[in-house]
Each structure stands twice: as C-alpha cells, then as structure tokens.
Amino acid sequence: MDEGDVWRLRGHENFGYSDGRASEIHLDKVFRSAKDLSSTSSELEDHIVDWASEYHLTRKRAQLLSGFKFDPEMTVLEVGCGCGSITRLLGERFGRVISVEGNIHRARLARLRTRDLDNVTVICAPFEEIVFAEKFDAIACIGVFEYSGSFVKAEDPYRTVLQYFSDMLLDDGVLILAIENQFGLKYFNAADEDHWGTPYVGIEGYHKRPNSVRTFGRSELGRLLSERFTETRYFYPYPDYKLPDVVIAEDFLRSGEAGEMVSQVRSRDYTGRRPGNFDEPAAVLELARNDLLAPLANSFLVIAGKDAVRGVSFDQEAVAYSSGRSEPFSTQTRIRRDAGNKLSVHKTLRNGSPVASNGLLELANCSSSWADGLSLQTLLISRSSSGSTEVAKLVEPARAWAAAMTAEAKDRDGRMMLSGEHIDSVWGNFYPEANPPAFIDREWVWKEDIPLNALAIRAVYNFLVRLEDASPGAGILKRASGQTLIREICSALGMEPEDRDIDDFVTLETRFQEMAYGLDPARYGKYLRWYLAHRPSLKAARGLKTLAHRVHASLTARFSLFRHASG
C-alpha cells in the first residue's frame, strides 16, 4: 500500500503522462481542504483557474453518465482514472469500483477525491499488466482508449486493449467507452486536435505521428468494437464527452429533430480557440437535415455489451443540463417520446425540489410538448446571413411574436405591462413554425409585472448576443450603438421603446443575472451600458481578454504534451 492509500504494483515505473506538477499540487490542496468532494460539488468549481483544473473540478464531467440508469450492484473496473473526477461518480453510483491509473501522483489525487468512499480502490499500475482474480460487470474507459498506442506494448495496441477488456468482463458485462471522433465537425473547422495541439492531425490520418495517441471515426471504431462485443449503443455528448451539456441517443440524433439543440451548443478548442472557417451552428442544421450529425459528432459515448447490453438504460431521447447558474436553479431537461411517437420536454431542478426562488426570481419544474421546426431566434440567425439590406425584412418572422406579446399585455396607468411569467418569452423559446405557433421552456418567473417594451428589448438583446457567437451576421446588424440597433429592430415590429424602457431593461436584466447566475450587479450593469453605447469597443476589450486566456491555455496544453512526450 502506497503512502497515499493507493495500491502500487511492485516494480512499476511511473507513467510520464501529466498536466504538470503545478497542476497536481493545486488539486492536492483543493481536495485536502474541500468539504464537498461529490461529483456535483460547486465548492470544487470555485477553484478552477485554467483548463486543466476545469477538467478535473467541473461538475460537467459527471454529466456524461448522469442521465443513465445503472444497476447499482454492478462491480466496475475503471481504466485510467486520472485525478478521480469520473472515479468519484462511479463510486457514488456503483457498489464496488476498482480504478487503475499509471501515474502515481494522479492515482493519489484520485484516492483523495474518493477518500470518503470505502467502496473505491485505486491501483497504480499499467492496467494491462494486472490479472484480476474476479471478472467485472462493467469497465469504464473514459478518454483513455486513444492513448493505447503510447502506453501498451503490442503490435496492435488498440485491439490488444479491447481483447483485455473482453477478457476482464463477465459474459454479460458491458464496456463504457468515451473518445473523441477523429472526424468531428470542430476539427474540420480548424480546431486543434485535442491531444496534439495542432489542427487537422486527425483528419489527415495521424501519419506525421504514428504509433502514438490517436482517435477513430464512427465506422472504424464500430468495426474494432464488433470484434469483441456483440451489441453496441452509441450516444453523442455535446460539445463533447469532456464537458457535456447534452447527451443524445443515436436514434434521436439521426431523426433530424435534434438539429437545433445541437446547433446551440458551442464547440470548444481546448488549446485556444482558433477562428473557424465556417458558421458551425448553420452547418449543424444542414447536417441534421442530411443525417450526417452522427459521423461528424465531436465525440462518442459507447455502451458495448459482450453479449447484450444489460444493467444500463437511457430512458429518454436526450438529456440537457443548465450551465453556470446559481446552485438552486440548476436544472436537467429530459426529452422523451411516448408510445404514440410524440415528443415532450420535462425540466426539473437537480436538487429534487419542485420550485426554487431567489428574491423576485422563481423557477419551477415544468413540462411542455415538443415544438417542431426552428425557434424564432435560430430562424433569424439564419436569415441574418441572407444579405438582406432592410431590418424590417430581416426580422419579419418576429412579427408573430410581437403580436402574441402585445395581445397578452395590459394597460397599467398608460403603460403596457406583462405578467412576470413572460420574462422568459424570448425568441429562443418561441416556435413560429409549430402548428399552432408555440412557446416552450419558459422556466423562469419574475414576481412582478414587466413592461412590454423592456421584454422586447431583452428578446432583441439576447438574439444579438447569440448572433455574435454563432454567425458573422448581416451588415445591417453591425451598428456600433447597441441601443440604436435595438430600437430599430423593435420599431420594425411596431414597438417604440422609450428611454425609460431602456433603463427598465438594464435594471431587470442586471437583477436577473445577479439572482440566476450570481453575477456582480454593478459590473454587469456597466457591461450592459457599454454594450448599448458602443459594441465594437466592448467586443475589442473582450477579445483581448479572450486572447490572454487562449495564450495561457495553449502554453498549458503544450507543456502538458511536452511532459507526456518526454516522460
């Protein structure tokens, strides 16, 4: 037994794979001082300082498997447990977990993360050199299979590893495998290959770096798995398996109905975001229409049964998780299909409560029918690339939304007001192509009436912010003054915001962001005023900040790769 409560194989030399000692020292301090080590710990997230610490401390890691139901009596072997993020989740979900890690520093960190779980054992050793007396119900291999070429000495290390997995499983055992897609859409859009820190390495076939880290496309991975496993079920985490906000079943992804959901999840380049070559969300919508999302997903999650898949179920078409919210408002959204093939959306608070509130803001569990077609926001983002030279023509589909909101408004002392239930009646939640047009996912409630024009400003502001992230946009939407542009769009919809409406919007949005996301109200209020006054200078300032983060992330990633290569 090692000093860190880790079993260590006699004679094992430490693997060179590492994020760097500084990162490991930071995690050691965090784990030793933390009161909440759980897979859903917000306390740990407070200590995220860079990409490496985000990967090990974010709650998003657990979201990869949170939507699945597992037989809790299963015994699990985890291969390559790293610093214990997934180990922690497995220990919470299964009766017995044995986790293997080749780097002693990381193995000790994994044990620290699970120190209060007596059902977890951590071993430091090359996994392929261990022969266990008993076989397992499940093997978890999350973000590890791609490294087989670096650490397994065999003529064909990838087939050797799958043979080992098969041998270590009971006859009805399952493999839980997560890996990047060699041909993920983000890699065609100039994102760096996650392991090598340069673009197009995987797409070109890893010829410049053979016999090392590599990923696989959907077909090749399927062929490899089929040699040892009878049944394979594919799931698609977005933006990828590392930090998933959404996990989608294959049938739903291929139905064409998931296109908009996927288009709204932004890909990440973990070594520093490069400017893309094309509008990725727009490409996603086209891929969905042509049943090409699956082969071009950024990563795969596979449940493979040695015989048939048993002890694992995914009782929905997709599950999505809110991101960045204050703890009481954290939600999960499940999309389900009934026996009549009708889809429905079910949003629940993750803490199990029926309702959460903070001041004037409230969120309650809710359900709604699935709306066909695209949201108004997505429609307008697509139209913004059409070359239209008139704002009124561009936003014409929003007239139905404006009419619906105007019909709901009541005159209060000469001012048109809406119930606070409409604070979430923004363009991303309105589906004009549905029959009849419908709102979905209006989860938030403001406990006071809100001015109709303030809601219109909020809807337009959300659209413009989303447009900046998703698409170059039309030239007519590039006004320097955010306030001028918002007034122009509202006017095209028959609404004429006054100065007091702008002020009410700033107050409302600032308070909303403070209550829902914990943002500093003074800073966010200044941010909004800056946006309304002069968007280009705000964008430039944000760009400089982003550049600094990119440089830091790139240096950190490259240092990690150097440590890996030289170890």
pLDDT at site 295? 98
Contact 181, 215 (CB under 8 A): yes
DSSP conformation class of 290: T
Mean pLDDT score of the chain: 92
* pLDDT higher than 70, residue 553: no
The pair of three-digit structure tokens given for residue 73, joined into one six-digit string: 């009596």
Say whether pLDDT at 338 is over 80: yes
Stretch 316-337: mean pLDDT = 95
Q: What is the pLDDT of residues 257-311, one digit of tens each?
A: 999 999 999 999 988 766 688 999 999 999 999 999 999 999 999 999 999 999 9
Q: Are strands 96-101 and 120-124 parallel, antiparallel or unpaired?
A: parallel
Average pLDDT over residues 205-220: 90
Question: In this structure, are residues 318 and 245 in contact, taking their beta carbons and an 8 Å threshold?
Answer: no
pLDDT over threshold 50, residue 563: no
Q: Is the peptide bond before 239 cis (omega within 30 degrees of 0)?
A: yes
Q: How far apart are CA 341 and CA 251, in angstroms?
A: 13
The whole-number average pLDDT for the span 206-212 is 82
Domain residues of the chain, as ranges?
356-533
Inter-helix orientation angle 499-517/452-470, to 10°: 60
Is 120 in a helix, a strand, or coil? strand
Mean pLDDT is lowest, of 65-74, 208-217, 296-305, 406-415, for 208-217
If phi > 0 it is left, if psi is from -120 to 50 it is alpha, else beta; for residue 354 that is alpha
What pLDDT does 476 receive? 77
| Averaged pLDDT, 430-453 | 93
Pairwise CA distance, residues 77 & 127, whole Å: 10
The pLDDT assigned to 153 comes to: 87
Q: How do residues 153-201 score in pLDDT, each as one tens digit?
A: 899 999 999 999 999 999 999 999 999 999 999 999 999 999 998 999 9
Strand ranges (DSSP E) for 105-213? 120-124, 136-142, 169-180
The amino acid at 397: P
Q: How confident is the model at residue 566 (pLDDT cuts 50, 70, 90)?
A: very low
Cα separation, 462 vs 258, whole angstroms = 22
Cβ(174)–Cβ(69) below 8 Å: no
- Cα–Cα distance for residue pair 82/89, rounded to 1 Å: 13
Three-state secondary structure readout of 15-42: CCCCCCHHHHHHHHHHHHHCCCCCCCCH
At 567, the pLDDT band (50, 70, 90 cuts) reads very low
Q: Which residue has the higher pLDDT, 473 or 242?
A: 242
Give the model confidence (pLDDT) of 1-24 as tens digits. Answer: 676 799 888 877 776 677 888 999
Contact by Cβ (8 Å): 481, 388: no
3-state SS of 199-249? Answer: ECCCCCCCCCCCCCCCCECHHHHHHHHHCCCCEEEEEEEECCCCCCCEEEE
Confidence at residue 1, expressed as pLDDT on a 0 to 100 scale: 63
What pLDDT is recorded for position 322? 95
User: What local confidence, expressed as pLDDT, does residue 188 receive?
Assistant: 97
Q: What is the rounded CA–CA span in Å between residue 441 and residue 363? A: 11
What is the mean pLDDT of the segment spanning 422-450?
93
